[in-house]
Structure 1
Amino acid sequence: MSDASASMLDELPGELMMWVLIISELLVFGAGLAVFLSVRLTDPVGFAESQDYLHRTGAALNTIVLVSSGFLAAYALRWREAAQRLKARLALIAAALLGVVFLIIKGAEYADKAAQGIGPETNAFFTFYYLLTGFHAAHVVAGIVILLLVAWKDEPRNIETGAAFWHMVDLVWVLLFPVVYLLG
């Protein structure tokens, strides 16, 4: 590897392998969204009707929750670098707790769909809805664990790595929300 590419890799926040994971996950979510949009072209009316069963307000609230959580994760690094270790740890724990809030809101939507008899087999829209949002929810769970581990082992490099993963989780939701919930 040349010195120039080695220095570029050294400048990445966090760990290189986390970036490999993040990029691979973004590619998977990107492929899922591309297929969702392609299938949507075959049944725009059915997809629009199915969207009406979603909780757009809850999803918008979840967007605010995750963006706020990402803000706390970013500030945790600043506070840790400023030798404000307690503030950094509390910010990471608060970010993780907001992840739990996200899951509670998403769980309420899933429960409502189940009560209406709507599941992944209902139609193509709901197959993709459950696949994409469920896969994202699994990443939220993983992110919560990462944030809590990083709060415990709160070295700046660990916080950078954990925050990078959490920002990927935020980014994916910021893309899922308009495509799944709002695109008419």
Structure 2
Amino acid sequence: LHRTGAGINTIILVTSGWLAALAVRAAEKEERARTRLLLAVASLLGGAFLWIKGIEYADELAKGITFESHAFFNFYFLLTGFHAAHVVAGVVILALVARRAHPRSVETGAAFWHMVDLVWVILFPVIYLLR
């Protein structure tokens, strides 16, 4: 597994969560342009997370590591795959709420994004550090 890539992904998601929190404050102040910018950058960081995760998956598959390789990798692919699906959903949600930049919608979208962050903050040490 790529601990460095996973560490970078952790920084990426925590940073994007911080930007989403700033977007909530900007939306409350009715700073729509700033809200949209913050959410756009948070979404782009979500895309960067997926790109790095895709590189990791491709490398593992090239090494012959699959679901059947070991019980650990079965759980690894399932847990990180479901998380990646939620990252995709979060990127879409942030993009959609950015269009209107309505405070309640931004807060709801940011709450979902924070849940995605929290899940990764739990998965990262369990998968990459404790193995």
- What is the TM-score normalised by the length of structure 1? 0.70
Number of matched pairs: 131
Q: 88, 97, 102: which one pairs with 2:44?
A: 97
Q: CA deviation digits over 1:134-166, x for unaligned, max 9?
A: 000000000000000000121100001000000
Poorly superposed stretches of 4+, deviation over 3 Å? none
2:31 paired residue number: 84
Within-5 A mapping of 1:16-95: 54-95=1-42
2:55 paired residue number: 108
Identity %: 67
- What is the TM-score normalised by the length of structure 2? 0.98
1:34 paired residue number: none
2:80 paired residue number: 133
1:66 is aligned with what amino acid? L
CA distance, structure 2, for counterparts of residue 151 and residue 82 of structure 1: 15
Deviation at 1:84, TM superposition (A): 1.5
1:97 is aligned with what amino acid? L
CA distance, structure 2, for counterparts of residue 182 and residue 170 of structure 1: 17
CA distance, structure 2, for counterparts of residue 171 and residue 180 of structure 1: 14
Q: CA RMSD in A?
A: 0.7
Q: CA deviation digits over 1:70-127, x for unaligned, max 9?
A: 0010100111222221011010011000000000000000000011011111110000
Q: 98, 110, 121: which one pairs with 1:151?
A: 98
2:118 paired residue number: 171
